[in-house]
Structures are given as C-alpha cells and as structure tokens.
C-alpha cells in the first residue's frame, strides 16, 4: 500500500505543501482548477496506483481558499467536516434547491451534494493542527464575487467556513474508490466583492507549508 495522495489545483500549492512535508510516502499532485478536472484526475491517479499494486490509503484535497470573514482570517487554516457542492442543484423563484432535494432516485445522486470527511482522518488532522478552523467547506464552480452572492451563500450554508473549487470533486473520486477523504485549506482571501489584488497568496502558501507536516 502507498501513502497519502494530496491533490491540489495549481503547482504553487503543490510546491508549498512539498516544502513542508516530513513524510516521504506522501504524493502531492497538482491537477487543475475546478471540481470536474480535480475529480477526473484524482480518479485516474487512484486507478493507476491500484492497477500497479500500490493503492493509496487516503486522499486529501488541499490548497488555498476563500474564507467567510466572520469565521476565519486570511492566512488561517481550515479543515473540512464535509465538502459540499454548493451550486449543484436548481434555481427557483423561491431560491436555490440542492440536488438532494430535487426528488431524484438516490442511485442517481452518488453521495449527494455533501461528502463528509472521514472521521479518523479528520481527527488526526485536527490533532496535528489544533489552531485550524473546522467546519463545512463549499465547492463552487464560480468564485463568489459580490456582497449579494456572499450573503446568499452564507444564508444557505450558515456553518460553512470557506469556499474553494475542487474539494467535492476529489471527495467523490475518493468515495468511489472506497478511500478515506479530507480537505485542508489555507485562506488567501475573504469571500466577498471581487478584489483580486487583495488576495494574500504568499501568506496562504506559507500557511500551507506550515500545515504540511500534518499530512502523513
């Protein structure tokens, strides 16, 4: 059995994690931005490792994220209790309806729009990162960029601590392979009106390096 597979979106996130890793059995793979490419690439990496007789033992989606300002500061670290596909569903005049509430047969929904973190893996990460903010992390296809959509998202997911773009896709790939999953994020920007210049990427990448020893 191989070690842990850590999936990031971009190479800068992978480099930051590698810089802090203490366990040589951890593989870090940058696979692209968004849940579709992240899910497909993770599934392929898991299948190749299994076919080679060296299956991974667990999967972590890791990288930077937007944080809900009242719950986590820029530069802070977040651990997901669940990864939620926040925009998977239907709009209606009465508001957003999550895919789970559309009346589809359960077999068509996979795990639904919420994939909980593996309890043991999450407990190990929490023990190693006691300062981390813990709560649901949303997966979005579109970076939230207005005050109105931030407020709407916050109303729909009042416990959510952060949003990113890959966690749910990676989680579904891990679940299909029967592997434990967790999501670890560091906050590069507050969720809110778009201000790309205010993203603190360097600070968030440094926090990823600091958190990396927890990945073992």
Ligand X SMILES: O=C(O)c1cccc(C(=O)CC[C@H]2O[C@@H](n3cnc4c(=O)[nH]cnc43)[C@H](O)[C@@H]2O)c1
* Site residues (vs ligand X, CB under 6 A): 9-10, 33, 63-66, 140, 143-144, 163-166, 188-189, 191, 196
Calpha distance 209→122 (Å, rounded): 19
Comparing CB distances to ligand X, the nearer of 132 and 165 is: 165
Q: How far is the CB of 66 from ligand X (least distance, A)?
A: 2
Q: How far is the CB of 164 from ligand X (least distance, A)?
A: 3
Calpha distance 154→10 (Å, rounded): 26
Comparing CB distances to ligand X, the nearer of 165 and 177 is: 165
3-state secondary structure at position 139: strand
Comparing CB distances to ligand X, the nearer of 2 and 18 is: 18
3-state secondary structure at position 89: strand
Comparing CB distances to ligand X, the nearer of 10 and 49 is: 10
Pairing of strands 58-67, 97-98: unpaired
Calpha distance 216→213 (Å, rounded): 7
Cβ neighbour number for residue 164 with a 10 Å cutoff: 29
Q: How far is the CB of 38 from ligand X (least distance, A)?
A: 8
Q: How far is the CB of 19 from ligand X (least distance, A)?
A: 17
Q: Which residue is nearest to ligand X, using beta carbons? A: 66
């Amino acid at each position: 059995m191989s070690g842990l597979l850590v999936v990031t979106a971009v190479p800068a996130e992978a480099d930051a994690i590698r810089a802090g890793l203490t366990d040589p059995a951890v593989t870090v793979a940058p696979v692209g931005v968004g849940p579709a490419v992240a899910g497909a690439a993770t599934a392929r990496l898991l299948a190749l490792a299994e076919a080679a007789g060296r299956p991974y033992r667990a999967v972590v989606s890791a990288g930077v994220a937007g944080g809900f300002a009242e719950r986590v500061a820029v530069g802070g670290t977040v651990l997901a209790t669940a990864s939620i596909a926040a925009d998977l569903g239907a709009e209606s005049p009465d508001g957003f309806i999550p895919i789970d509430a559309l009346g589809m047969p359960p077999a068509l929904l996979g795990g639904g729009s919420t994939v909980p973190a593996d309890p043991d893996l999450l407990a190990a990460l929490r023990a190693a990162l006691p300062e981390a903010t813990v709560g649901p992390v949303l997966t979005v296809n579109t970076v939230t960029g207005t005050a109105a959509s931030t407020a709407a998202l916050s109303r729909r997911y009042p416990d959510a601590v952060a949003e990113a773009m890959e966690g749910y896709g990676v989680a579904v790939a891990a679940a299909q392979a029967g592997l434990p999953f967790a999501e670890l994020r560091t906050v590069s920007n507050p969720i809110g009106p778009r201000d790309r210049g205010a993203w603190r990427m360097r600070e968030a990448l440094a926090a990823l390096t600091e958190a990396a020893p927890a990945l073992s």
